[in-house]
Amino acid sequence: MARLLLQRYWDIPDGTECHRKTYASTSIGGATAAIGAIFGVTSCVSAQVREKPDDPLNYFIGGCAGGLTLGARMHSYGMGTASCVCMGTAAALVKMGQLEGWKVFVEPKV
């Protein structure tokens, strides 16, 4: 299921069709749909404004915005700061891995 949701997100080119990317990231988020929506909108708009669609910094900015949303929800500056750094770094690493061809879901050897 996770593979299908990620594939639907990756099929949309970065910096284009922000509404579809936001919908896809919201469905990935599940219970944390607000964080997924904030991530999708922020990373897509960042790619459009910066005119660099395949830059991991867009994903860091989106992840950081999602982390700040979590901090606001928890009413904690510390949680927001830590979540910003952690989620931004994780998102940037995912984008770098996607650009360099890292395997997240490896096919089993039978």
Band of the pLDDT at 55, cuts 50, 70, 90?
very high
Are 12 and 28 in contact by the 8 Å Cβ rule? The answer is: no
Are 91 and 43 in contact by the 8 Å Cβ rule? The answer is: yes
Cα angle value 67/57/42 (rounded, 5°): 50
* Locus of tokens 């979590």: 70
> What is the reported pLDDT for 36?
83
> What is the reported pLDDT for 2?
60
Q: Is the pTM of this model over 0.85?
A: no
